[in-house]
Each structure stands twice: as structure tokens, then as C-alpha cells.
């Protein structure tokens, strides 16, 4: 028997929920467009090496979460678990290095095999931006400013906080890794099982552990900034100074790291306390080595991604949905006239609902359920006089209106 349930970790997004998702995406696009970002759409699946070569062998995405399969051509294909690697591939494939700097916005579904929880699913949706070709902190400042503006225009400004850190350049991080490895080895027996595995491959990831036993040890770990060379210190100082000039408040979180191996320098998250343990709603950072790691030219980059599902959960319950106008024929003889009126109004920009069948009572019930702002009654006698009855659903006032002046009368509802 065919299962009629969606696969675990996926869902059918019904119209009311889709309105919230669409609002998140449309606001993100509008703000990104204002900041000069052009939209890019990459394939939902890529050759597996696009992700396995770039995300790192120690990342949870590669080791546990990728949806990978062999297609009929015996190629290994992976459903995209995140957006940045695919955009870096597209940057190389399309020769976009001739157009630097380039600023890109994206949106769409991503796929990760992980435990479903509030605001996190196996098929989920993201919006994000990437800036390629700018080596200075100015691109990082712009990316963070764009993210803050986006969240504010969603009405979430009071619900989110910016967490900021620097991972330093590769030289600084190598020096730090040695200190960190020595420190965690001294506390190895007290670390969680997962962190002991990370200790062998990437001790930096332990800083981001959510296990209570790890948090106690991490609290006293060496600070990454203590291993910075002059370049790393100057980069972070310039970034912080720029944010302060723009009035963007932040918390310097020394334990904030990115889970992917290609990040350097800037790491940031916008977090909330309204979603429980899953507090990050938008995260990003700088990745100066990603494009070259994929076989392209040395190209600095910075970007962020935000989870549409999580942001939708934070939106106010009542979303400002456009209220339609209902057209109701009174009697079968008036149905064709109602259809003509409806089509004309729609072509002139009005949101109009026309019920397909039912008596007057049922059609009025539908109009109330749709929260219509006005109802146009089309009767046989009125059609002869070239008039309709217009009822305001908020005041219950109604009046007879000529068809020639109908659109003028409806202007207040547009």
C-alpha cells in the first residue's frame, strides 16, 4: 500500500503557511535588490564533490546529513545541503570572475538528513546573499547591515541579537589550533564522545558544542584572538569599527565558530530566544579560500543564509493579507454577467473571488470565510439596468452602483 504521509522531515506547505514563507522571501529579495544584489538560481542537485570537497570531511553535513545517490549515468549526485558551495561552482562555471566584484542573492529548498525539530526540517528553505571579489571588511559590514535591515523589515528587530566573532586568517588559526589541541587533550576524559572525535580532526568545532560537559571545558579554553597576527587583528578591528559607525550593536562571542571548514575571519549569527534551543535564524561569515579550493582563482567571499521556516515562526500571527472582493450572482441567469464583471476587475488589478456554485447563503458564507472586504451582488433585474449592489463588509452598508462607475467606487478597496 502506498503511504499517504509525507516523508519524515518534510511537509506540505498549505496556503496560509505559504503566505508567511512568501513574505520572508519577498522582503529578503526586496532588501537585497536595494543593496545591489542580483538574483541567482542554481540547480537543486550538484555533483557530490562540489560539497564533499568544500564542506570538509569533519563537518556534520558531509559525514551525516547529505542526501547522496548514484544516477543512471553512475555519477554521484547530492541534493544541495546549503547554498554557498553551489554558487561558488556557478561562479567558476560561468566565468563570473571577469565581473568582480559580484553580489548575488538566492532562495530555495535545501536538504539535510537530521533530526526534525521546531523550525528545522529535512527539506527546508533558505534565503541568502554572497559577495565575491572584495577582500576588505567593507563587504562584511555591508552583508551584516543588509541582514539587519532584512530582519527589521520583517518586524523582528526587537527579537534578534547579533553575535560576532573572528576566526582569523589561516596562519592565526593554525597557531590557535595547536593551543586548543593541547588544552582539550588535557581535558579529553571529560569531553563528550562527539567532541573526542572532533578532537582528532578539527578541535575548533568543539567550541560550538551544545553538550553541557563540553560547555564547562570550553568556558576556560584559550581565546582565538590571543593567537591573532597583525592582519587578523586589524581586519576584525576595522569590521567592529564599521559596525559601530552604522549603529549596529553586537555581542563579541568568543566561542562562535562556523561549522564549515572554508570560513575565515568574520563569523556572525543573528539569534533569538523565541525559538528555544534553536536560536540562530541567520548565520554567515567570510570564506576567502572556497573558490580556489574548488579549482577557481583566488577569490575572497562573504555571505549569509537565513532559514525561512524559522523566520516564519517568528512573524506575527496575523499577516497583512490582501482582502478580496467577492462577486455573487443572484440567480443562475446572472452567472455569466458575474463572470464578465469578475474578469474585468481582475484585469484592472483588483483581488476578486467568484464562487463556482451554491445558493446565496453558501456564497455569503464563503465570502465571510475569505474575509472579503466587499461583496458585489449581480441580479437579473440589476443587469438589465446595468447596475450592481455593492456591500461594504466592515460597515454592512450597501448601495446600488452603476457598472460604469463600479471601478471608481471600488478604488478604496484596491
Which range of 126-140, 164-178, 262-276, 386-400 scores highest in mean pLDDT? It is 126-140
Q: What is the pLDDT of residues 109-137, one digit of tens each?
A: 999 987 777 667 899 999 999 999 999 99
Fold for 325-413, please state it: Rossmann fold (3.40.50)
Q: Is the pLDDT of residue 63 over 80?
A: no
Residue 358, pLDDT score: 80
Residue 138, pLDDT score: 97
- Averaged pLDDT for residues 7-11: 87
Residue 359, pLDDT score: 85
| Distance, CA of 74 to CA of 397 (rounded, Å) | 68
Q: What percent of the chain has pLDDT over 90?
A: 56
Q: Is the pLDDT of residue 318 over 70?
A: no
Q: Is the pLDDT of residue 246 over 70?
A: yes
- The C-alpha angle 78, 82, 84, rounded to 5 degrees, equals 110
Per the DSSP assignment, residues forming a β-bridge with 94 are: none
Q: What is the pLDDT of residues 84-108, one digit of tens each?
A: 999 999 999 999 999 899 999 999 9
Radius of gyration of the chain (CA): 27
Residue 210, pLDDT score: 78
What is the location of CATH 3.30.930.10 in the chain?
Answer: 15-169+229-314
What are the angstrom distances between the C-alpha of 25 and each of 140, 157, 214, 271? 22, 17, 37, 19
Name, in order, each residue with C-beta under 8 angstroms of 37's C-beta and a sequence gap of 6 or more.
Answer: 103, 104, 105, 129, 146
4 band by pLDDT with thresholds 50, 70 and 90: confident
- Answer yes or no: are the C-beta atoms of 110 and 81 closer than 8 Å: yes
What is the location of CATH 3.40.50.800 in the chain?
Answer: 325-413
Is the domain covering 15-169+229-314 a CATH 3.30.930.10 domain?
A: yes
Peptide bond before residue 101 is cis, with ω within 30 degrees of 0:
yes
| Distance, CA of 269 to CA of 253 (rounded, Å) | 10
| Distance, CA of 204 to CA of 221 (rounded, Å) | 11
| Distance, CA of 178 to CA of 196 (rounded, Å) | 16
Residue 10, pLDDT score: 87
- Answer yes or no: are the C-beta atoms of 134 and 123 closer than 8 Å: no
Amino acid at each position: 500500500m502506498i503511504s499517504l504521509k509525507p516523508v519524515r522531515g518534510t511537509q506540505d506547505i498549505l496556503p496560509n503557511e505559504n503566505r508567511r514563507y512568501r513574505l520572508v522571501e519577498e522582503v529578503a529579495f526586496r532588501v537585497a535588490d536595494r543593496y545591489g544584489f542580483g538574483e541567482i538560481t542554481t540547480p537543486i542537485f550538484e555533483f557530490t564533490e562540489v560539497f564533499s570537497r568544500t564542506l570538509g570531511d569533519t563537518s556534520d553535513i558531509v559525514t551525516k546529513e547529505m542526501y547522496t545517490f548514484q544516477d543512471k549515468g553512475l555519477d554521484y549526485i547530492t541534493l544541495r545541503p546549503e547554498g554557498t558551495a553551489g554558487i561558488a561552482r556557478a561562479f567558476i562555471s560561468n566565468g563570473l570572475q571577469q565581473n568582480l566584484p559580484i553580489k548575488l542573492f538566492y532562495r530555495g529548498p535545501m536538504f539535510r538528513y537530521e533530526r526534525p525539530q521546531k523550525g528545522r526540517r529535512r527539506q527546508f528553505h533558505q534565503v541568502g546573499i554572497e559577495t565575491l571579489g572584495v577582500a576588505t571588511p567593507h563587504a562584511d559590514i555591508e552583508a551584516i547591515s543588509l541582514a539587519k535591515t532584512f530582519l527589521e523589515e520583517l518586524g523582528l528587530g526587537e527579537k534578534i541579537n547579533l553575535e560576532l566573532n573572528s576566526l582569523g586568517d589561516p596562519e592565526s588559526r593554525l597557531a590557535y589550533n595547536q593551543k586548543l589541541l593541547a588544552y582539550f587533550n588535557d581535558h579529553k576524559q571529560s569531553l563528550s564522545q562527539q567532541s573526542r572525535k572532533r578532537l582528532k580532526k578539527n578541535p575548533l568545532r568543539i567550541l560550538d558544542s551544545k553538550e553541557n560537559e563540553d560547555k564547562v571545558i570550553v568556558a576556560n579554553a584559550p581565546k582565538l584572538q590571543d593567537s591573532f597576527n597583525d592582519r587578523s587583528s586589524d581586519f576584525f578591528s576595522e569590521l567592529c569599527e564599521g559596525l559601530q559607525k552604522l549603529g549596529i550593536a553586537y555581542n563579541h562571542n568568543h566561542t562562535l565558530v562556523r561549522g564549515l571548514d572554508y570560513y575565515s575571519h568574520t563569523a556572525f549569527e543573528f539569534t533569538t530566544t523565541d525559538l528555544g534551543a534553536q536560536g540562530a535564524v541567520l548565520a554567515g561569515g567570510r570564506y576567502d579560500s572556497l573558490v580556489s579550493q574548488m579549482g577557481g582563482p583566488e577569490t575572497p567571499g562573504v555571505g549569509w543564509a537565513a532559514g525561512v521556516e524559522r523566520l516564519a515562526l517568528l512573524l506575527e500571527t496575523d499577516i497583512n493579507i490582501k482582502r478580496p472582493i467577492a462577486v455573487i450572482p443572484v440567480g443562475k441567469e446572472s452567472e455569466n454577467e458575474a463572470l464578465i464583471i469578475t474578469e474585468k476587475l481582475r484585469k484592472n488589478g483588483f483581488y476578486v473571488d467568484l464562487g463556482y456554485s451554491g445558493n446565496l447563503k453558501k456564497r455569503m458564507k464563503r465570502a465571510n470565510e475569505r474575509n472579503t472586504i466587499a461583496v458585489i451582488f449581480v441580479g437579473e433585474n440589476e443587469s438589465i439596468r446595468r447596475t450592481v449592489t455593492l456591500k461594504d463588509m466592515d460597515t454592512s452598508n450597501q448601495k446600488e452602483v452603476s457598472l460604469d462607475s463600479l471601478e471608481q467606487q471600488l478604488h478604496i478597496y484596491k
